[in-house]
Amino acid sequence: MTQTIVLNPALESLRSPCLLNHPIPQPSKPIKLGILASGSGSNFEAIAQAIAAHQLAAQVEVMVYNNPEAKALQRAQNHNIPAQLLNHRDYPSREALDRAIVEVFHRYGVELVVMAGWMRIVTPVLLNACPHVLNIHPSLLPSFKGIHAVEQALAAGVKITGCTVHWVVPELDSGPILIQAAVPVLPEDTADTLHARIQVQEHRIMVDAIALATAQLRAT
């Protein structure tokens, strides 16, 4: 059993439908998303499918990926979504990469950036130009920040872990928490089995988090 937890008090009335049995308010105008992806793109797929099913009032304008081998590219092509390769190895610094990302997102009119499995640390260059950035992390922050969060949870012997969607700030995995889902750690779990169960919840709360973030941004 899993549980979704909304931790932003300002959004308490917009809690996940799995808790209150009513839909999250949808804006009249879809929000324009820019996706950052590095790997399989499974979170991107969850977002794209929710949009296609009219469960999320959003439009993915472009996906930026940094790994030429990323399977996320094929997923973007399957949904006819523009994808731009910005290989981090081609840039002399994180700031240079972020400047290139900003250029792409501004060109596509992106309103909300979603780090959906983006395996790079972003800099103030990106955050100053695109102030509304969401990230998903495979732990119940503030526990187990940084890389190998699932392995950290197993090593610590915790009985419950999960995933978190939070607003991105310059400090790693430290921004205001928007929504979390708790996942029990089973005695027989390995990093692979635990990560697989966490990922199921990531796909669910990522969609809810975008709807919550959109409601917050439209209200300001």
**Three-state SS sequence of 43-88:** HHHHHHHHHHCCCCCEEEEEEEECCCCCCHHHHHHHCCCCEEECCH
Catalytic residues: 137
**Tens-digit pLDDT profile for residues 85-112:** 999 999 999 999 999 999 999 999 999 9
Position 219 scores a pLDDT of 87
Q: How confident is the model at residue 24 (pLDDT cuts 50, 70, 90)?
A: low
Instruction: Read off the pLDDT band of 10 (50, 70, 90).
Output: very low
Tokens standing for 78? Answer: 């399957």
> Which pLDDT score, from 0 to 100, does residue 4 have?
57
Average confidence (pLDDT) over 103-127:
97
Whether 178 has a pLDDT exceeding 90, the answer reads yes
Average pLDDT, the chain: 90
Q: How many helices (H) and strands (E) does the chain have?
A: 7, 8
Is residue 174 scored above 80 in pLDDT?
A: yes
Q: What local confidence, expressed as pLDDT, does residue 19 receive?
A: 35
Delineate the domains of the chain, giving CATH numbers in brackets: 3-21+30-215 (3.40.50.170)
The answer to whether 82 touches 100, Cβ cutoff 8 Å, is no
Q: Is 96 helix (H, G, I), strand (E, B) or coil?
A: helix
Instruction: Output the pLDDT for position 9.
Output: 40
- Tell me whether residue 59 is exposed, middle or buried, using C-beta atoms within 10 angstroms of its C-beta: 0 to 12, 13 to 18, 19 or more: middle
What does the alpha-carbon distance between residue 72 and residue 39 come to, in Å, rounded to a whole number? 6
Confidence of residue 212 (pLDDT cuts 50, 70, 90): very high
Q: Is residue 202 over pLDDT 60?
A: yes
- The pLDDT of residue 5: 58
Nearest-5° angle of CA 18, CA 5, CA 148?
115
Average pLDDT over residues 73-91: 98
What SS3 state is found at 121?
A: coil
> Predicted confidence band at 13 (pLDDT cuts at 50, 70, 90)?
very low
Q: Which amino acid is at 181?
A: A
- Stretch 42-57: mean pLDDT, rounded? 97
